[in-house]
Amino acid sequence: MSYVADSTSDGEFNRDTDYITTRITADGRDGYPLEPGRYRLVVARACPWANRAIIVRRLLGLEDVLSIGFCGPTHDERSWTFDLDPGGRDPVLGIEYLREAYNTRIPEYPKGVTVPAIVDIPSGAVVTNDFAQITLDLSTEWTRYHRDGAPQLYPEPLRDEIDEVAQRIYTEVNNGVYRCGFAGSQRAYERAYDRLFTALDWLSERLAGQRYLVGDTITEADVRLFTTLARFDPVYHGHFKTNRHKLAEMPVLWAYARDLFQTPGFGDTIDFVQIKQHYYIVHSDINPTGVVPKGPDLSGWLTPHGREGLGGRPFGDGTPPGPTREGERVPAGHSADRVD
């Protein structure tokens, strides 16, 4: 997503959470019914919020019914761009800037243009950029199009607990790293830092005796935590000053993150090159030189994690997703060698 945020008078970072909340549903109650091939999911591999949608779409096997468009890792004040595509245009939507789809829905769209966004291909208009609801709807509204063996990422009996854990992850970790990085005063930064590591300590304690956050299978809560952990050492530890410990120095969380990274559908979506390019180039107020770090060493992501000893079944009664589709693979050399 873009950083549609401001700071309070004491320098605390506040994220703008006013999204386009129209939903694509099985009954079409918002005017956008499920139709294979009608919608396009627009993402950027660099963005943790978009990365969630990439993972969930892949785990559920929705590639044939929901196409995907990849923006480049950087953007300007106008919006995300399709500079990875020939001619700098999305081949399906025919646009150069994602803002064009936002303006089609809401003329002169006044807010930050964010990813992920789902675009209605016939009209060229954004349907929704409500990142939290998008992945939940992929799990609950798109069920008729799930692949055989798709996991239950949002099982009904566990939804209350998933929601509770996911909310704390969002406020204290997903958004907590940004609260550190964009703090406008020393006091605001130190408060944000303490909140973040209090939450990470809580997660370490929770995960010390169980393989996954809720129940014995991967759920939406794990997807939401993973995308922040994957960016912790390459970006947040230095760039956002979340430097009490590196992820690799937090034994439980590091093992948990490696476990997920080595699970098909997770690590095969992570592009460390684009992640670093995005944060270190776009955030010119934090990193005015635009120099992108060469490290860290990524080989540790493939080391044994030992989490199998805690039990758990990654996909429950389901199966892993198949190999990543041609055209959707992370470029060679942009990640650790992955298990496809």
Q: Phi and psi at residue 71, in whole multiples of 5°? A: -80, 160
CA distances (Å), 168 to each of 132, 137, 153, 225, in order? 13, 20, 18, 10
DSSP-derived letter for residue 154 is S
Structure tokens at 48: 């943790």
Question: Which residues, 6+ apart, have CB-to-CB distance to 287 below 8 Å?
Answer: 239, 279, 280, 281
Q: Report whether 301 belongs to an annotated binding site.
A: no
Catalytic residues: 47, 178
- Contact between 49 and 1 under an 8 Å Cβ cutoff? The reply is yes
Q: What's the order of all strands across the beta sheet hosting 117-120?
A: 67-71, 39-44, 117-120, 125-128
Residue 245 makes CB contacts below 8 A (sequence gap 6+) with: 197
Give the Cα separation of 175 and 77 in Å (integer): 21
CB 45 within 8 A of CB 73: yes
Distance, in Å, from the CA atom of 259 to the CA atom of 301, rounded to the nearest integer, reads: 9
Helices (H), 143-278: 159-169, 176-181, 186-207, 220-231, 237-239, 251-261, 272-277
Question: Which residue type, as a one-letter code, is found at position 181?
Answer: G
Binding region for glutathione: 80
Binding site listing: 80
